[in-house]
Amino acid sequence: MKKFITLMALAGFISTNSNGQNTTALKAKIAQKAETLEAKVVAWRRDFHQNPELGNREFKTAEKVAAHLKSLGIEVKTGVGKTGVVGILKGGKPGPVVALRADMDGLPVKERVEIPFASKAIGEYNGQPVSVMHACGHDTHVAILMGTAEILASMKNELKGTVKFIFQPAEEGAPEGEEGGAALMIKEGVLENPKVDVIFGLHINAQTEVGKIRYRPGGTMASSDWFKIKVKGKQTHGASPWQGVDPIVTASQIVMGLQTIVSRNAPLTESAAVVTVGQITGGVRSNIIPEEVNMNGTIRTLDPAVQDMIHARMAQIATNIAQSAGATAEVKITKMCPITFNDIALTDKMLPTLESVAGKENVSITAAATGAEDYAFYQQKVPGLFFFLGGAAKGKKESETAPHHTPDFEIDEGGFVLGMKSMASLVVDYMEAGNAK
């Protein structure tokens, strides 16, 4: 009996050791292949940067992505969620389905960065001609995932599972009157056939030094809600305000009232929140008090309970202030994007992978961000991990780098190899863990 147990233990050791050796070999192959692909990925990124397209209009970008995936022998589906591209790579061995996602759309921003491949593109945004720029780094995401696809396709027979590559349109939001983004891709079945078990994604960050990775377990990026408040008063001559009800003064009081929600009602030591009024319109002439004022803004939260509280308090404050002035207020809140929530167990499980490819000293927990990311929709359906890849030149201070969504936004291309290594290694390690007995 002892001999039998010893033999079984030895067999288990040999199997485990064999799996470890296989993973080590694949990691070495990933590292070597990523270095080889760097120039190609940089060229792709520059092409996408010079030719950006707005959400739901990424036609040429999608064509280039689909052509590349097909050239690798990957099964390709196009037109998913308007212009989205999905690639399916079936490994040589059974195992979990791992999804990797990149967003493709640019922004209505005019580029000021002096680089040879600067964008001069013009597009149409909600019926208006606009300059178009990759002012958030989505061009880098597409190029990195294309490189990752090439790496994983080269080791197809050794993969223990299936990889689903999701190239998503309209992360920044679809044009008015259209559906788009992650929500539409999910609606059209991107996480099914085959059913996705887990999803990974990255975002380049212009304030993080090249070679570094930042991540956060749990709430990582905020939910994004949009609100509209319509204040109705009574029109009158500007010289005799007592004969009417001034919606401009009332709207001003509502703006100030809304600011007390975060400062007095939100548990700021536990979870940050933001209420911003970004637009106020009302009136046509200096000596006429108008009948109506409209306000638009955004709400950002990192906790669903805080989100619900803010929604309730906004309606309460706006309607009561308006009533006290003899006016009325209509409040409409639209939930645009949920909280980007990194599955805590998955994050803990995959942290060693990120540390192994970047070096433990180069991986750190980041502060929660009040920006939003529609990757969150995938995380509502399957466990997900979303992390940040350094895109600032080495030695450059954060204060010296332009924020995302601005004309001066710029990315150092030295982090692309780490991006490919990270994404490919997450796939291999997750598959190995999923197949471990």
CA distance 405 to 398: 16
Average pLDDT over residues 104-130: 97
Q: pLDDT at residue 391 above 50? A: yes
Tokens representing residue 158 in the block: 């050794």
CA distance 387 to 430: 16
Contact 392, 208 (CB under 8 A): yes
* Residue numbers annotated as active site: 105, 171
Contact 53, 59 (CB under 8 A): yes
Contact 141, 414 (CB under 8 A): no
Residues in the chain, overall count: 437
Contact 282, 251 (CB under 8 A): yes
pLDDT for the residue 65: 98
Q: Give me Rg for the CA atoms of the chain.
A: 25
Average pLDDT over residues 49-73: 98
Q: Which residue ranges form the domains of the chain, and what is each CATH number? A: 22-216+340-435 (3.40.630.10), 223-337 (3.30.70.360)
DSSP state of 227: E
Q: What's the whole-number average pLDDT of the chain?
A: 94
Write out the H or E segment, with its range, that includes residue 167: strand 160-168
Determine if residue 288 is left, alpha or beta; phi over 0 gives left, psi from -120 to 50 gives alpha, anything else beta.
beta
The count of C-alpha atoms lying within 13 angstroms of the C-alpha of 130, restricted to the half-sphere facing its C-beta, is 17
Q: Please write the tens of the pLDDT for every residue from 356-374.
A: 999 999 999 999 999 999 9
CA distance 122 to 84: 21
Q: pLDDT at residue 6 above 60? A: no
Q: pLDDT at residue 84 above 80? A: yes
Closest CA relative to residue 415, chosen from 24, 25, 32, 41? 41
CA distance 391 to 398: 11
Q: pLDDT at residue 258 above 70? A: yes
By CB neighbour count within 10 A (0-12 exposed, 13-18 middle, 19+ buried), where does 356 fall?
middle
Task: Enumerate residues 6+ apart whose C-beta is below 8 A from 280.
Answer: 251, 255, 293, 294, 295
Contact 171, 106 (CB under 8 A): no
Count of beta carbons in the 10 Å neighbourhood of residue 414: 17
Average pLDDT over residues 158-177: 96
Tell whether the torsion through CA atoms of 391, 396, 398 and 400 is positive or negative.
Answer: negative
Contact 143, 416 (CB under 8 A): yes
Contact 88, 75 (CB under 8 A): yes
Q: pLDDT at residue 437 above 70? A: no
pLDDT for the residue 22: 77
pLDDT for the residue 398: 86
